[in-house]
Amino acid sequence: MSRINSPDELEKVRQEIISRENPNKPCISICAGAGCIASGASEVIAAFKAEIEKQGLMAEVNTKGTGCPGFCERGPVVVIYPEEICYLQVKPEDVPEVVSQTVREKKVVDRLLYVDPTTGEKATHEADIPFYRNQERNVIGNNIKIDPKNIDDYLVIGGYSALAKTLSKMTADQVLQEVKKANLRGRGGGGFPAGTKWEGSRNAPGEPKYVIVNADEGDPGAFMDRAVLEGNPHSVLEGLTIGAYAIGAHEGYIYVRQEYPLAVENVTIAIQQAQEYGFLGKNILGSGFDFVVKVHKGAGAFVCGESTALMTALEGRAGEPRPKYIRSNVVGLWGKPSVLNNVETWANVPLIINNGADWFTQFGTDTSKGTKIFSLVGKITNTGLVEVPMGTPLRDIIYKIGGGIPGGKKFKAVQTGGPSGGCLPEELLDLPVGFDELTKAGSMMGSGGMIVMDEDTCMVDVARYFLEFLTEESCGKCVPCREGMRQMLKILTNITKGKGKDGDIELLEQLSETAIEAALCALGKSSPNPFLSTLQHFREEYEAHIKEKRCPALSCKELISYYIDPDKCQACMNCLRKCPSEAITGGKRQIHIVDQEKCTKCGTCFEVCPHRFHAVRKISGEPVPPPIPEEARTIVRKSKEK
């Protein structure tokens, strides 16, 4: 690998890499993102490598682990080029067949294709699968094409051309104007216009200036930043370098949580390779511009996703936020102007520079431009990462792309915006997703978590869950957040345990108001959102918990009982054997009974009871019927009567 000293040289190197590879040479791309690895992708990759070797195809076929294409539900995902045949849920056992059939014979292995659950139609290519077809994948679309550990793969798809264009043809001010014109808003939560933030830093007094990537993706149930940083780290580095040029920074940081070891590894390798090629370091592409990037690992504190807290953590101290009378783009890291943007925001920058602001603004609504990646999780058929233009209605995301709610259950709510966001009910499903639209509806965009909930999810418990999360993650610096949230959590926990009392809702509202008004940082100010939005849309659930001691979703452990319907029980012994607390009595041909004293309400009996019997029921808000008398417990089978 030799240093590239000018944009022309970059193009030459690019052409050389492209010409080195025959475009018709088969390439097996296997998703090596965290979701697929957890489903066994590492074994599949190893099996492909072994099989290719066994069949003596090492010279003719490439095999690579790539970034995450988003369809985690059906992982491990394998795509075979140049035909772009997409196989899902591939197991090591399938590998020999795929190699001999698809790679050698160019035949499709039917059983590994996507089958449309409604029509039964099979889809051979990625683009034919409804999950992908309805997306606009500007940012994550390339993930499956590149090996994140190999910079050449990124160069093949046009990587670093935006940087070359920036350094050779644009002034810092032109870059700034382009980003401003594109109205790129921060993808991390606040939605603050990136261009304005950059300009503030550029004009602020003080040297040196810093640019920082916020990869401390702490929202539970959100993993799009990880997919981008893991799958296409160079796109983030390129965006960061362009940003640094625009504001005049020569030092950058990537703050990535240590819970993402693969992201840390891939971005560290990417930095090293970019340095070797001369995309980072001194005199980048012969332009005279110097820029270095360092990786800092976060040690596990949700509050460090907040800009000032993150900068404090970078300085090697406990990450507590500070009041923002002066924004961090003016006084930030080490007291110097510092631009902090999230991973996805930075990854959008090269796209804007390459294609222009007009291209970028064709996607989205009036105030929210471009595309946004959402992590669609929870009670949803197709869990995964979904990139859509801003303004796409929630209904399209959940039903057209997500495939709706599994198990024939009814949709109840979708939670957006992470712990500080809110829950939106069925009536608001036609809402277009955008920064301002979601805020108006009482939720927020956040970093793009989208958690779908069905009729079995208790909304009071959801509010309690988020409050518990936020209470644990509160840094403890200001009183409204530290003490107020603790009290809110206490009250909500009592409600879910059936100890709620009149006046609890009002008290929670008062505490919320105080936190919104008086907390120090955005984390505290938005902490009551989960409660307020569930109260707004699901007040009747709160009232049922408090007044009737009943959980309408049959979810709160302390308010439900498991009961075996004697008319339905067929004494199959399934639940009896599986019950971890030995709380079920019965025997062969003896109707089973749950001992309510012993029952820990783990729900195992409910899950293992065969669907055709459906004998185990959850009861809430009413007393459990007394057990049937001993003499009535014996089941006399009709067939045996004769």
Partner 1 sequence: MDKHIIDQIIDKHNCEPSYLIQVLLDIQAENNWLPREALERVAERLQVPMTRIQHIATFYKAFSLVPKGRHQIHICVGTACHVRGASRVLDTVQGLTGIEPGETDLDLKFSLETVNCLGCCALGPVVDIDGKTHGKMAPAKTADVLKNYD
Q: Whole-number minimum distance, CB 55 to partner 1, in Å?
A: 30
Among 96, 206, 220, 286, binds partner 1 (CB under 8 A): 220
Alpha-carbon distance 546 to 501, whole Å? 6
Q: Does 337 bind partner 1 (CB under 8 A)?
A: no
Among 318, 330, 573, 628, binds partner 1 (CB under 8 A): 318
Among 41, 86, 246, 314, binds partner 1 (CB under 8 A): 314
Cβ closer to partner 1: 33 or 191? 33
Query: For the chain, what percentages of helix, strand and coil (3-state, to nearest 5) are there?
Result: 45, 15, 40
> Alpha carbon of 394 to those of 368, 409, 436, 442, 448: distances in Å?
15, 18, 14, 15, 12
> Alpha carbon of 402 to those of 25, 376, 564, 578: distances in Å?
34, 7, 35, 33
Residues in a beta bridge with 548? none
612-638 in b/e form (b: 16+ CB < 10 A) is ebebbbbebbeeeeebeeeeebebeee
Unique residue bearing structure tokens 């390798």: 269
Cβ closer to partner 1: 26 or 417? 417
Q: Does 603 bind partner 1 (CB under 8 A)?
A: yes
Q: Whole-number minimum distance, CB 315 to partner 1, in Å?
A: 6
Unique residue bearing structure tokens 């041909």: 589
Q: Which of residues 152-181 bind partner 1 (CB under 8 A)?
A: none
Among 189, 384, 442, 500, binds partner 1 (CB under 8 A): 384
Q: Does 445 bind partner 1 (CB under 8 A)?
A: no
Q: Does 315 bind partner 1 (CB under 8 A)?
A: yes
Cβ closer to partner 1: 102 or 443? 443
Cβ closer to partner 1: 383 or 526? 383
Q: Tokens standing for 190?
A: 């606040």
Cβ closer to partner 1: 446 or 480? 446
Q: Does 397 bind partner 1 (CB under 8 A)?
A: no
Unique residue bearing structure tokens 């014979």: 105
Q: Does 604 bind partner 1 (CB under 8 A)?
A: yes
Of 140-148, 432-440, 509-517, 600-608, the segment contacting partner 1 by CB under 8 A is 600-608
Alpha-carbon distance 439 to 51, whole Å? 52
Q: Does 598 bind partner 1 (CB under 8 A)?
A: no
Whether the bond into 76 is cis, omega within 30 of 0: yes
Alpha-carbon distance 102 to 109, whole Å? 7
Q: Tokens standing for 390?
A: 């801003």
Q: Does 226 bind partner 1 (CB under 8 A)?
A: yes
Q: Which of residues 556-575 bind partner 1 (CB under 8 A)?
A: 557
Among 322, 578, 617, 618, binds partner 1 (CB under 8 A): 578
List, edge to edge, every strand of the sheet that includes 210-215. Answer: 292-298, 251-257, 210-215, 338-342
Q: Does 607 bind partner 1 (CB under 8 A)?
A: yes
Q: Which of residues 37-56 bind partner 1 (CB under 8 A)?
A: 37-39
Alpha-carbon distance 530 to 526, whole Å? 9
Q: Does 296 bind partner 1 (CB under 8 A)?
A: yes
Q: Whole-number minimum distance, CB 578 to partner 1, in Å?
A: 5
DSSP 565-603: -TTT-----HHHHH-TT--EEEETTEEEEE-TTT-----
At 24, the amino acid letter reads N
Q: Tokens standing for 81?
A: 């080029």
Q: Does 307 bind partner 1 (CB under 8 A)?
A: no
Among 313, 352, 373, 559, binds partner 1 (CB under 8 A): 313
Q: Does 103 bind partner 1 (CB under 8 A)?
A: no
Cβ closer to partner 1: 342 or 604? 604
Q: Does 509 bind partner 1 (CB under 8 A)?
A: no
Tell which residue, 201, 255, 265, 195, has the closest CA to residue 230: 265
Q: Does 88 bind partner 1 (CB under 8 A)?
A: no
Q: What 3-state class would DSSP assign to 282?
A: coil
Q: Whole-number minimum distance, CB 382 to partner 1, in Å?
A: 9
Tell which residue, 469, 472, 467, has the closest CA to residue 496: 467
Cβ closer to partner 1: 557 or 588? 557
Would you say how long the chain is, in residues? 642
Q: Whole-number minimum distance, CB 473 to partner 1, in Å?
A: 8
Q: Does 310 bind partner 1 (CB under 8 A)?
A: no
Residues in a beta bridge with 429? none
Q: Whole-number minimum distance, CB 384 to partner 1, in Å?
A: 7
Q: Which of residues 404-423 bind partner 1 (CB under 8 A)?
A: 415, 419
What residues have CB less than 8 Å from 58, skipping those under 6 apart?
Answer: 52
Q: What 3-state class would DSSP assign to 636?
A: coil
Site string for partner 1, 248-287 (x = CB under 8 A): ----------xxx---------------------------
Q: Does 374 bind partner 1 (CB under 8 A)?
A: no
Cβ closer to partner 1: 317 or 501? 317
* 523: exposed, middle or buried (Cβ count in 10 Å: 0-12, 13-18, 19+): buried
Q: Does 92 bind partner 1 (CB under 8 A)?
A: no
Of 103-111, 182-190, 218-226, 432-440, the segment contacting partner 1 by CB under 8 A is 218-226
Of 154-162, 348-356, 372-380, 564-572, the segment contacting partner 1 by CB under 8 A is 372-380
Alpha-carbon distance 438 to 164, whole Å? 37
Among 72, 129, 249, 559, binds partner 1 (CB under 8 A): 72
Q: Whole-number minimum distance, CB 221 to partner 1, in Å?
A: 4
What residues have CB less than 8 Å from 46, skipping those under 6 apart?
Answer: 92
Tell which residue, 486, 514, 492, has the closest CA to residue 505: 492
Of 134-142, 164-172, 512-520, 598-606, the segment contacting partner 1 by CB under 8 A is 598-606
Among 176, 451, 554, 591, binds partner 1 (CB under 8 A): 451
Alpha-carbon distance 348 to 539, whole Å? 40
Whether the bond into 82 is cis, omega within 30 of 0: yes
Q: Does 324 bind partner 1 (CB under 8 A)?
A: no
Unique residue bearing structure tokens 């505290």: 524
Binding site for partner 1 (CB under 8 A): 34-35, 37-39, 72-73, 75, 218-223, 226, 258-260, 296-297, 299-302, 313-319, 375, 377-379, 383-384, 415, 419, 449, 451, 453, 457, 462, 465-466, 469, 475, 557, 578, 580, 600, 602-604, 607-608
